[in-house]
Structure 1
């Protein structure tokens, strides 16, 4: 019998990270709850998990920049990706009506994504919490009759809460991209057509353009470029790039050619494109 994979997430059960894990692996997993993204990395490094599911960007809030640094510093392999539509609901204990609500609580990013809704209800005090699902769990455990959580359907089901307002997010096309990380690079990912790479270049005119042109010439599509300062070094940057291709040979050629013009080049992962929301 195949053993259920141990998947480390930032947050607790029924968080968006667990929902993303379910979408990628299916529901037969062992969820390893962690209080921070760094803790997920420590758990994976120490062999207490088989994978990490880590949010890397949100269509409204942007990139989670510290997570790029974590992946590079721990030298984990990116073995997959998953996109999740972020649907945010107001939930409360059974019997609580909207007019009873005095407080709303959730993760700061979730709160930011619902500002338009709360603009119409200034009497509701919005309080930041550590995690969307944790806020739902607190309402259940403490039997808070004047408080609602902003979280997903999974949290309402797990903690026995009623959804009293659905889809309160300002942008209905809100999604988060998560990366699937593994500690070693031995796992063969079949049908690869996407990669995440990282490198530095010299600080002179046209240095970055030279590298980008190599990929353009080989018909490799760059889907994301993210720069991050090199800690303690002025005017030096890491460039994180996601790319897709239809011809593996052209991708390989582009990688070989770009090595001549880059420093500290690292293929963080080669995997299968999975961008269905």
Structure 2
């Protein structure tokens, strides 16, 4: 999974930067991609993970990019654009949210629930049925679980994954409180260097178009003409330029020659075209 270049490096020596605390969903995603024999470097922000990779203090970043309920994490697209790291892989993680407390605490004792804003959004239906409970947005799901354990908070609950309950010794009061049970997050694996994958069948691309009628449609048709599946498209305003946008697309293919032909066509109609990464499609939940 790591590509020919990484295969020569002992997995034990790999340092993986994540946003969040130990036992967060980012750590679960990192373990799913690399295995557990890696060193996880916890960061309090996505920007911090990028700075560590830029300074080569870590080998990879695992970064959430979209959720099936909350949608795209737009600030992270800005980081992809600013830092220009290479995407070397992806991870899909089934997100199961749980309400957890110190052992012995009952639902009637809870006055305060804290978690990451996206986790709160994913559990809105459950939370709307609670009365007299204050909901607070925190920096991370696992970090809230850790805080409850360290401070021995008997009136506070966290929303987090089962790993957080195991690591921090909390009791799951209510399981699977996410509104949509088909709740999944896609994570990208980022590196400083291009890592070649012989069986690559997916790519993340970015480009701009001319400000003319049908310019984007022309580019999209180039993919369709070569039987390339467009699985994701995201637009972001170009900073400081009115009515100009960066387009981020994910494409998938069965024949490498079709993909290469599509790229040659798109190059003729796009501006600032960039292959952000070519990797193996991964949808295993």
Question: In structure 2, what is the equivalent of residue 154 of structure 1?
Answer: 163
Alignment of 1:14-163 (within 5 A): 14-163=23-172
Q: How far apart in 2 are the matches of 1:35 and 1:152?
A: 18
Q: Deviation of residue 184 (structure 1)?
A: 1.2
* 3-state SS in 1 of match to 2:260: helix
- Matched ranges for 1:146-185 at <5 A: 146-185=155-194
Matched, 1:272 2:280: yes
User: What is the Cα deviation at residue 234 of structure 1?
Assistant: 0.6
Q: Report how far residue 243 of structure 1 moved.
A: 0.4
* Distance apart, 1:190 and its partner CA: 2.7
Q: How many angstroms does 1:206 deviate by?
A: 1.2
Deviates more, 1:113-122 or 1:221-230: 113-122
Task: Find the counterpart in structure 1 of residue 214 from structure 2.
Answer: 206
Does the aligned pair in 2 maintain the 1:194–1:272 contact within 8 Å?
yes
Q: Which residue of 2 aligns with 1:231?
A: 239
1:127 positional shift: 1.5
TM-score, normalising length: structure 2: 0.95
C-alpha contact (below 8 Å) 1:72/1:268 kept by paired residues: no
Alignment of 1:214-229 (within 5 A): 214-229=222-237
Structure 1 range deviating more: 61-70 or 237-246:
61-70
- Does residue 250 of structure 1 match 2:258? yes
3-state SS of 1:192 partner: coil
Could you tell me how far apart the structure 2 residues matched to 1:256 and 1:231 are? 27
**Contact 2:196 / 2:278 at 8 angstroms: preserved in 1?**
no
User: How far apart in 1 are the matches of 2:42 and 2:260?
Assistant: 38
1:88-120: CA deviations, max 9, x gaps? 001111111222211111111111111111221
Output the aligned Cα RMSD: 1.0
Q: Which residue in the other structure is 2:6 paired with? A: none
Q: Separation in 2 of the partners of 1:149 and 1:111?
A: 10
Q: Give the structure 1 partner of residue 4 of structure 2.
A: none
* 3-state SS of 1:67 partner: helix
